Amino acid sequence: MDKIIVRGNGALNGQIPIAGAKNACLTLMPATLLSEEPLTLTNAPRLSDIQTMTTLLQSLGAEVSSLQDGQVLAMSSHDIHNHTAEYDIVRKMRASILVLGPMLARDGHATVSLPGGCAIGARPVDLHLKALEAMGASLELKEGYVHAEARGGLKGTTFEFPFVSVGATENALMAATLAKGTTVLKNAAREPEIVDLAECLIKMGAQIEGHGTSTITIQGVDRLHGATHPVVTDRIELGTYMLAPVITGGEVECLGGTRALVGAFCDKLEEAGVSIEETPTGLKVKRTNNRVTAVNVETEPFPGFPTDLQAQMMALLCTAEGTSVLEEKIFENRFMHAPELIRMGADIEVHGGTATVKGVDHLKGAPVMATDLRASVSLILAGMAAEGETVVSRVYHLDRGYERVEEKLSACGAHIERVPE
């Protein structure tokens, strides 16, 4: 197991290339199960979660090849000989549940273990199952597995999600492409990853309208064909690296970034005193004063402030001028990074889903422990702004969502290295 050592050493300057979106790629990969023809994804991120999904698809009979240093995934599902997604693979990643809808839609049956993932609160799959039941699937939960059947094929329906769920929208969207008739998904998620999935499915021959809005209409077709599709830029990696020059000083251009991906996040940064300039190749970011100004943050579904940038934003606000209040409204138990930031000298009080952060003059390096994916990178950001040395342990979380983080930050002047524990 590795650890990362960060030494605060002032401003960062340069360019950081932003990878393809982890959450988009993990959704696009199961789409290969909808067709017997090849699906090729370009701009794929090189992450451990992508390897986990690769292993899962291969266990079902799909062929998955990683090309061009992992940035191209060539997939083919012409011979799906196994319809059971086993616990040993699925437990590693909650996105594994996304093979359920495609297999059920194409072949009329699937058995999928209940998934695992980050320990940041309950992420039940009941909405996935309710949407598929509305399309005519017969479901049974037995010994930790979802046993699903639709022997006569799925049927179009109108289904309204009781609350917005990205994963459930994705599963239902994929399943509906091969259902008989028209499916209308109401209160659907609007995230860029949903739009990216829909665009890929349209290239494969699906008939979809309304993606990017809260009502998506899908006219089922008999079959889908192959396609080549570029994975959308990772908006969470984008937001994370936008914070690097804000928390340390300097100016960094995030290559491939667009404001449309992180609009609410940009608004908050500008409110705090950050300059964001759109360039022909990305977003250029710098702070306008020595210290940023405290701001209040409330996480919301897209297009609101992303829950996946809350931990990183907290790291920034630890040294802001004034007091900030962060309200986490998406996931419970998502302030586990707060005690670690307190170890570095931050002044944070957590009560339920609210964290109050009183800005301090500076942070001090300390040994800290990553508790989940986004918390791990928030501690690295804090370490770059802290006096002395910060040692972040349990960084296997980091590798699930950020590719080559040490290389990208070092190229801009950060003192960061990975060493064995």
* Residue 162 annotated as binding site: no
Check whether 190 is labelled as a binding-site residue. Answer: no
Residue from 118, 200, 254, 318 carrying the catalytic annotation: 118
Pairing of strands 84-85, 109-113: parallel
Asked whether 276 and 284 are in contact (CB, 8 A), the reply is yes
Element containing residue 251 per DSSP (H, E): strand 250-255
125 assigned ligand-binding residue: yes
**Residue 91 labeled ligand binder:** no
Whether 339 has a binding-site annotation, put simply, is no
Location of structure tokens 């900030």: 324
Sequence length of the chain is: 421
Does residue 79 have a known ligand-binding role?
Answer: no
Gap between the Cα atoms of 86 and 99, Å rounded: 11
Residue 18 near residue 253, CB atoms below 8 Å: no
118 is an active site residue: yes
Instruction: Tell whether 123 is in a known binding site.
Output: yes
Q: What is the maximal distance between C-alpha atoms in the chain?
A: 65
Helix (H) or strand (E) holding 286: strand 282-287
CA distance 103 to 40: 19
Rounded distance between C-alpha atoms, residue 13 and residue 252, angstroms: 5
Give the SS3 label for residue 53. Answer: helix
126 is in an annotated binding site: yes
On whether the CB atoms of residues 400 and 48 are closer than 8 A, the answer is yes
Ligand-binding annotation for 60, yes or no, is: no
**Residue with token string 């494969």:** 204
23 is an annotated ligand-binding site residue = yes
Please answer whether residues 128 and 173 qualify as being in contact, where contact means their C-beta atoms are separated by less than 8 angstroms. Answer: no
Which residues participate in catalysis according to the annotation? Answer: 118
**Binding positions:** 22-23, 94, 123-127, 308, 330
**Binding positions for UDP-N-acetyl-alpha-D-glucosamine:** 94, 123-127, 308, 330
**Binding positions for phosphoenolpyruvate:** 22-23
